[in-house]
A and B are shown apart, each in its own frame.
Chain A
Amino acid sequence: AQKVTQAQTEISVVEKEDVTLDCVYETRDTTYYLFWYKQPPSGELVFLIRRNSFDEQNEISGRYSWNFQKSTSSFNFTITASQVVDSAVYFCALSVPPSGTYKYIFGTGTRLKVLA
């Protein structure tokens, strides 16, 4: 069975601090995809990144960076120099497409509060 665990329910940081959101996944499949989504107070889920299981390169996009480690089944997300606008709930998701369809399995989310 597939599972995504986001152990951090809520994190509070002061603006300009760095913060890392943890994501641990479980799957027996060798081919899978991992995602991060941001859910601001408006409710929409905003796509941030997708990683496939064969690409372990870390990625940086502005103040965002992602660390994918298959050895520990983790796909952690770091925000550098956090800003108040980063306050949101962040979801990690796993997709295993054995039949070609992308059914997402979401974690329970981490609520990030960035204080001014």
Chain B
Amino acid sequence: EAGVAQSPRYKIIEKRQSVAFWCNPISGHATLYWYQQILGQGPKLLIQFQNNGVVDDSQLPKDRFSAERLKGVDSTLKIQPAKLEDSAVYLCASSLASREYEQYFGPGTRLTVT
């Protein structure tokens, strides 16, 4: 069974530029999550989707971050414009709707903002 796929794995941009990350969850997983993991910290949930609907985006900085999951499968997370403090690993995870306690994580995208 293929795992959660993310791309790109690494990205370096200058502040005020825009960037987008892509995630393809495990087939059949209705729930998709985006986390931000700053160096030395645990992951922090940014947004959670159930199919193509947003369940929780309370910690998403909506002035610069946006995410979508239009067809209820893959998802994109965008930052526009990026700030230095956005440097982090962005992790995507997915789970079955009936087993949300068991999240499967992708390898992450490491973003460096200079």
Contacts and interface: CB of A to CB of B under 8 A. Distances in A.
Q: Are A and B bound to each other?
A: yes
Interface string A94-116: 01010001111111110000000
Contacts of B43: 45, 91, 104, 106
A106 B102 contact: no
Contact of B100 (A47, A91, A102): A102
Contacts of A33: 101
B65 interface: no
Nearest to A33: B101
Given A45-B93, A50-B102, A103-B56, A93 B42 contact: yes
Given A42-B107, A43-B108, A101 B56 contact: yes
For chain B, the bracket of interface size reads 20 to 34
A100 B104 CA distance: 18
Given A33-B101, A43-B89, A101-B55, A106 B107 contact: no
A104 B102 contact: no
Given A50-B102, A91-B42, A106-B43, A45 B91 contact: yes
Contacts of A91: 42-43
B13 interface: no
Given A44-B108, A47-B103, A47-B104, A106 B42 contact: yes
Interface residues of A, number: 24
Given A43-B91, A44-B107, A106-B43, 12 more contacts: A43-B107, A43-B110, A45-B103, A47-B102, A95-B101, A97-B100, A101-B48, A101-B55, A101-B56, A102-B95, A102-B103, A109-B42
21 contacts: A4-B42, A33-B101, A37-B105, A43-B91, A43-B110, A44-B106, A44-B107, A45-B91, A47-B102, A50-B102, A93-B42, A101-B55, A101-B56, A102-B103, A103-B45, A103-B48, A104-B103, A106-B41, A106-B42, A107-B42, A109-B41
